[in-house]
Structure 1
Amino acid sequence: MTDTVLLIDDDLPFLSVMQRRLELKGGYQVQTFTSGKAALNATSEHTVHAIILDMMLGNESGLDAITQLKHRFAPTHFIMLTGYASIATTVEAMKRGATDYISKPVTLNELLARLKGIESETQEAVKPMTPGQIEWEYIQRALHDNQGNVSKTARELGMHRRTLQRKLSKRSPH
């Protein structure tokens, strides 16, 4: 029996390519969805081996869907995939039930290793964080502590609200 993977991402080209690769190279049966709500409404006769969920799904946060998806499908692996990684969102995803957290871009081999529960040999050694990464993490933690309130976070950090908004609109430093 082929293991089923639910792939949830609003990036249609990514969904198409990753579905094809996971089916061909990984041997998985992949069901794709563009939102957590669509996945929850799906009827699945198969046991779900893994859910791969993007954190940013248009106007929807993948974090908000973790608990319901985990309860509905009870996957062995629940991988949060994001282009906006931070320690605060990693901790929040794990608290809600994710078993893994991967920053985009991700290679197929890395994803397959995580799905099989194997520590990948290609994982980078831990490097010290850059000043930009440290600032990003500090801002994300303050924003999380203030329940996403940008004005309150800016006051707490001692910066103008527009300055904080500019910093948040940039991608996270790698």
Structure 2
Amino acid sequence: MTDPRQLLIVEDDETFARTLRRSFERRGYAVDSASGHDGLVALLDGGLQPSHAVIDLKLAGSVSGLTCVQAVRAAAPDAKIVVLTGFASIATAVEAIKLGADHYLAKPSNTDDIEAAFARTEGNADTAVDTRQSSIKTVEWEHIHQTLVDTGFNVSETARRLGMHRRTLARKLEKRQVR
């Protein structure tokens, strides 16, 4: 039987992962962590059945945290999954939820924020709807990011689909990193 407080952290920033681990252990969670998709797969293949998971969206290497969301959802269908990212976008939020995440939080988020997301089971219809118009830069960024998601974060293919030079896209991504 699964420990009701078995947490899996998938985070490539060792310092942040260690901080999360300590904080959740103090709150009574049994914590396992992986720095990327391969480590995650090894833990899941070893029989880990997390009840909760915190997954960074942008991991080092070529595999996105979205792939990790799919893997955790397949291995532990009832797990509460929270995706964390330093550079949130509508495109990745939508994809994360479609792939099985329960919540999507922008960094910086602390243990309280993550635990609150674990506890939430329903949406809030009273959430204020922002009537502010998106800027052209925001719309451009969301379009670039959606194309990145569609291409599996392949920069060359994304540049081709957007009709821009790869170096131009790389410069734009450096200014506003996908994480």
**Conserved 8 A contact 2:4-2:51:** no
* SS of the residue 2:54 aligns to: strand
- Paired position in structure 2 for 1:9: 11
Match 2:144 to one of 135, 139, 143: 139
Evaluate the alpha carbon distance shift between residue 143 and residue 67 of structure 1 in structure 2; reply closer, same or farther with a 3 A threshold.
Answer: closer
* Contact in 2 for aligned 1:85/1:172 (Cα 8 Å): no
How many angstroms apart in 2 are the aligned matches of 1:17 and 1:146?
33
Structure 2 distance, partners of 1:152, 1:36, is: 22
The structural deviation recorded for 1:67 is 1.9
Aligned partner of 1:48: which letter? P
Q: How many angstroms does 1:134 deviate by?
A: 2.4
The alignment's TM-score, normalised by the length of structure 2, stands at 0.76
- Report the Cα distance in structure 1 between the residues aligned to 2:117 and 2:75, rounded to whole angstroms: 22
2: CA distance between counterparts of 1:27 and 1:68? Answer: 25
CA deviation profile, 1:74-126 (whole Å, cap 9, x unmatched): 3431111112322222222222211211111112211110112278xxxx965
Report if the CA contact (8 A) 2:86-2:106 is conserved.
yes
Name 1:21's counterpart in structure 2. 23
1:135 partner letter: E
Does residue 170 (structure 1) correspond to residue 175 (structure 2)? The answer is yes
What displacement does 1:133 show? 2.3
For the residues of structure 2 that align with 1:169 and 1:125, how far apart are their CA atoms?
32
Q: Distance in 1 between matches of 2:50 and 2:154?
A: 36
Amino acid at match of 1:68: A
CA contact (8 A) 1:88 1:140 kept: yes
Aligned to 2:103: 100
Provide the C-alpha distance between the structure 2 equivalents of 1:69 and 1:33, rounded to a whole number of angstroms: 12
What's the RMSD between the two structures over aligned residues? Answer: 3.0
Which stretch of structure 1 is more off in the superposition, 2-11 or 31-40?
A: 31-40
CA distance in 1, matches of 2:107, 2:37: 19
> Quick check: 1:111 aligned with 2:114?
yes
Q: Alignment partner of 2:120: what SS?
A: coil
Are the equivalent residues in 2 in contact too, given 1:80–1:98 (CA < 8 A)? yes
**What amino acid is the match of 2:169?**
L
- Pair 48,132 (structure 1): closer, same or farther in 2 beyond 3 Å: same
Deviation at 1:165, TM superposition (A): 1.9
Task: State percent identity of aligned pairs.
Answer: 36
Q: Which amino acid aligns with 1:109?
A: D
* TM-score normalised by structure 1 residue count: 0.78
Identify the range of structure 1 (70-79 vs 127-136) with the bigger mean alpha-carbon deviation.
Answer: 127-136
